[in-house]
Amino acid sequence: MSKKKYKEDKAEKKLGAIDEKLTASEQFLEKNQKAVLYGLAAVVVVVGIFLAYRFLYVVPKNEKARAAIFKGERYFQNEEDSLALFGNNNDYIGFEAIIDRYKGTKTANLAHAYAGICYSRLGDNEKALRHLTKFKGGDLLIAPAVMGAIGDVYMNMNNPKEAVAYYKKAADKVNDEMLAPIYYKKIGQVYLHQKDYDKAIETFTKIKDTYLNSLEAQEADKYIEQAKLQSRGQE
């Protein structure tokens, strides 16, 4: 048998095998046509329900939630914390009610952050911690601020170890020349408070060397000298 004839026979066998597979697929579709069609219909129905839920319920709910929180943000900025939390008995329902009424929305999530800081300023550390730890977010502004606020709450609860841990998380998360040193300054102040002068000096030196253009860098030498003086006073 010539090479040419051999190649032709081989090609014919391949085509035959493909035809057999196609025929088998066709037979399967013929036998299971109804099941396949029902399956496709089910997928279409599920997708339709999802889209309807999103555009008829979720989107309007998010819009209502955003409108509801607007006045609360004004109260928050003015440190009118009780009004921000519980409303004004008129046209604003309060962060607590927003969280309950608009569960699952981004606005309710943000309200946890606001509520946590409000409770912290009011001195209710337990409620502050409960709300702040419920906030979920990965952005580079709010998430670090919430971590820093958790650090403040732990410091108020006389838990400097946890406070430092959250200040470090905030500094790492924000990774910004102007904002990160704010959290490192808090860390340095905790170390001063704990009389851990070596770590205080190390932290303020880091601020001075790494964040040259920040306000905290301009103050770093003052805190370094304070740590050195207090350290000598212990000798």
Q: What is the pLDDT of residues 93-106, one digit of tens each?
A: 999 999 999 998 88
Q: Quote the CA–CA distance of 109 and 40 in Å, as a whole number.
A: 36
Can you tell me which residue has the tokens 């500094």? 171
Q: Quote the CA–CA distance of 201 and 113 in Å, as a whole number.
A: 32
The predicted structure's pLDDT at residue 20: 53
The predicted structure's pLDDT at residue 121: 95
The predicted structure's pLDDT at residue 162: 97
Q: Quote the CA–CA distance of 12 and 174 in Å, as a whole number.
A: 66
State the DSSP code for 179: T
Residues of the chain with pLDDT under 70: 1-62, 234-235
Classify domain 137-235 by CATH number: 1.25.40.10
The predicted structure's pLDDT at residue 58: 44
* Per-residue model confidence as pLDDT tens digits over 61-75: 567 778 888 899 999
Distant-in-sequence, close-in-space partners of 12: CB < 8 Å, separation ≥ 6: none
* Per-residue model confidence as pLDDT tens digits over 23-38: 555 555 555 555 545 5
Structure tokens at 30: 């013929």
Q: Is residue 173 a contact partner of residue 140, using CB atoms and an 8 Å limit?
A: yes
The predicted structure's pLDDT at residue 67: 80
Q: Is residue 150 a contact partner of residue 126, using CB atoms and an 8 Å limit?
A: no
Q: Quote the CA–CA distance of 12 and 32 in Å, as a whole number.
A: 30
The predicted structure's pLDDT at residue 232: 84
The interaxial angle of helices 125-132 and 106-121, nearest 10 deg, is 160
The predicted structure's pLDDT at residue 31: 58
Q: Quote the CA–CA distance of 100 and 134 in Å, as a whole number.
A: 13
Say if pTM beats, i.e. exceeds, 0.95. Answer: no
Q: Quote the CA–CA distance of 229 and 232 in Å, as a whole number.
A: 5
The predicted structure's pLDDT at residue 23: 57
